[in-house]
Amino acid sequence: MSEPRNFEVGQRPQSAGVESVAALGPSLVGRLGNRGKVALGGTVVAGAFSLGVMAGGGFSADVEAQSSLTGRAEFVTLEETWDLIHEQWPDPESIDDAALIYGAAQGMVDAMGDEGHSAFLDPEATAAFEESREGRYVGIGVEVDARCGVPVVTSIFTGSPAEAAGLRRGDVIAAVDDESTQGITMQELRELILGNEGDMLTLTVDRSSEPEPLSIDVVRGTIQVDPVTWRWLPDQTVQLRVTGFEPGVNGKVREALATIRDEGAERLILDLRGNPGGLVPEVIGVASQFLPEGTTIFQEQVRDEPARPITTVGKAGNWLDLALVVLIDDASASGAEVLAAALREHGRAQLIGETTFGTGTVLSTFPNDDGSSVVLATAFWLTPDGDHVWQEGVEPDQYVVLARDAFPSRPEDDPELTPSELEDSADAQLQAAFEALDSGLLAQD
């Protein structure tokens, strides 16, 4: 038996291959590289809370545990399926026993219905997941959006391999190493992009200004991601983007809020779009910047126990009294949903954008001796008012959907937006958030 090694609110475990975003998984937005958004989201260390649960790190020798599995009629079906594959498959040399077992384990976790959240990770995926906790990944340094059926580059990291290779925002990645991306899922795209530092991949790129597709070679590299970025908008307004609640995010948010407040900021747009969640202590720390000490952020519902409130800590929040709106979308999950719901239900902020993903479970990671792991939901979280979010999501106060060919405007794209640039932006959600600040409709009564 192995104890849970990690404790987090919603970093959705992903297979290796997600790069910068907090979000690949349920949503179509993500970053390419070797990152674990569990994002799905993406990112965990031993948490500050212990659920007091134990989970198997493999098959137990305990007789009772054996009878609960091997004694079932369905287990006979599993054995018969295994035997049929080994007896009937025409190419026995191609059979990968480990892949068969890992596939069965993944099927068990998938059958629970915790889509995009609980997961079985084979040793390779587990290694990538561990790497993601360090806030780095191996990739090419872009964010993509695949809502149009093909991956479109929406942002390029400064100093990244993608920038060095000449990729641009708006480029369509039509193929990776001659394999078409038409109708590809983000998981499949991650698998195409996956590789080691120093490896080269060739992208076929459609660019609107070029009559023919471009062939661009990109060398994968290790990229350090800053999960907290911000920029100035008009009228003493700041857009603060948090891409995930990985280690150190609370401190970065606290420092950013202190800086912008000292520099005269009076209004804040907290951008949680594409944020897949992360570590419980980081979520608590960020929430404590906006809500008074002792305020319930969410309720934790552990199996067979009454829900218990998880509250903010400290009296020195840097944004307890100034104007605030929050941007969410269908890729905002878990920790992002926790924070958004708390800010709205305590009358602190209005939510603008789209209904969130609806993970609503707390994850623990249980390592196995072979290097694989099970990332399993071990508790539900409820909003401060006691509402479930799992498979429901958090609805915005103002529903705003981006146009099919429009993408979120991010602080890293431009350090400052002038009034005319904001007005001309294709980011209707950011515009709506700014207008909500202007109108004074900052929270739902």
Residue-level pLDDT at 97: 94
pTM for the full model? 0.76
Q: How far is CA 81 from CA 41, 71, 76, 77, 105, in A?
A: 34, 16, 9, 6, 14
Which residues are 218's β-sheet partners?
A: 201
201 CB neighbour count, 10 Å cutoff: 19
Do residues 185 and 253 share a domain? Answer: no
Domain boundary among 206, 224, 242: 224
Task: Pick 256 or 208 by higher pLDDT.
Answer: 256
Residue-level pLDDT at 245: 93
Amino acid at 17: G
Residue-level pLDDT at 36: 31
Q: Which of 139-143, 149-153, 162-166 has the highest mean pLDDT?
A: 162-166
- DSSP-derived secondary structure letter, 321: S
Question: Which DSSP helix (H) or strand (E) runs through 340?
Answer: helix 335-345
Residue-level pLDDT at 28: 30
- Which pLDDT band holds residue 213 (cuts at 50, 70, 90)? very high
- Which pLDDT band holds residue 48 (cuts at 50, 70, 90)? very low
- Which pLDDT band holds residue 390 (cuts at 50, 70, 90)? confident
Residue-level pLDDT at 191: 76
Residue-level pLDDT at 202: 95
CATH at 158: 2.30.42.10
CATH at 45: 3.90.226.10
339-363 tens-digit pLDDT: 999 999 999 999 999 999 888 888 8
Burial pattern 132-153, b for ≥16 Cβ within 10 A else e, equals bbebebbbbbbbbbbbeebbbb
Residue-level pLDDT at 63: 41
Do residues 333 and 386 share a domain? Answer: yes
Do residues 177 and 87 share a domain? Answer: no
Residue-level pLDDT at 173: 94
Strand spans (E) along 26-150: 29-33, 119-121, 136-145
278-296 tens-digit pLDDT: 889 999 999 999 999 999 9
Q: How far is CA 131 from CA 44, 124, 134, 256, 405, in A?
A: 10, 11, 6, 26, 33
- Which pLDDT band holds residue 133 (cuts at 50, 70, 90)? low
Domain boundary among 201, 224, 247: 224
Do residues 201 and 293 share a domain? Answer: no
Do residues 112 and 237 share a domain? Answer: yes
Q: From the centroid of its chain, how far is CA 124?
A: 19
How far is residue 245's CA from residue 230's CA, in Å, rounded to a whole number?
Answer: 16
Do residues 238 and 317 share a domain? Answer: yes
**Rounded average pLDDT over 381-409:** 91
Do residues 63 and 152 share a domain? Answer: no
**Rounded average pLDDT over 46-61:** 28
Instruction: Report the domain count for the chain.
Output: 2
Do residues 126 and 253 share a domain? Answer: yes
- Which pLDDT band holds residue 69 (cuts at 50, 70, 90)? confident
Do residues 167 and 50 share a domain? Answer: no
Residue-level pLDDT at 104: 94
Measured between its terminal Cα atoms, the distance across the chain in Å is 48
Could you identify the residue written with the tokens 């409820």? 382
How far is residue 440's CA from residue 396's CA, in Å, rounded to a whole number?
Answer: 17
Is 283 buried (19+), middle (13-18) or exposed (0-12) by CB count in 10 A? buried
Do residues 400 and 331 share a domain? Answer: yes
Show the tokens assigned to 226.
Answer: 């800053």
Calculate the average pLDDT of the chain. Answer: 82
- Which pLDDT band holds residue 369 (cuts at 50, 70, 90)? very high
Q: Please give the residue range of the domain that contains residue 428.
A: 1-135+226-445
In sign, the C-alpha dihedral spanning 93, 97, 102, 107 is: positive
Domain boundary among 154, 189, 224: 224
**Rounded average pLDDT over 177-187:** 85
Task: Pick 307 or 315 by higher pLDDT.
Answer: 307
Q: Cα dihedral angle (351, 352, 358, 362), rounded to 10 degrees?
A: -40
- Which pLDDT band holds residue 16 (cuts at 50, 70, 90)? very low
Do residues 268 and 369 share a domain? Answer: yes
Residue-level pLDDT at 414: 85
Show the tokens assigned to 371.
Answer: 């290097």
344 neighbors 34 (Cβ within 8 angstroms):
no
Could you identify the residue written with the tokens 């596939």? 103
Task: Pick 169 or 2 by higher pLDDT.
Answer: 169
Do residues 254 and 186 share a domain? Answer: no
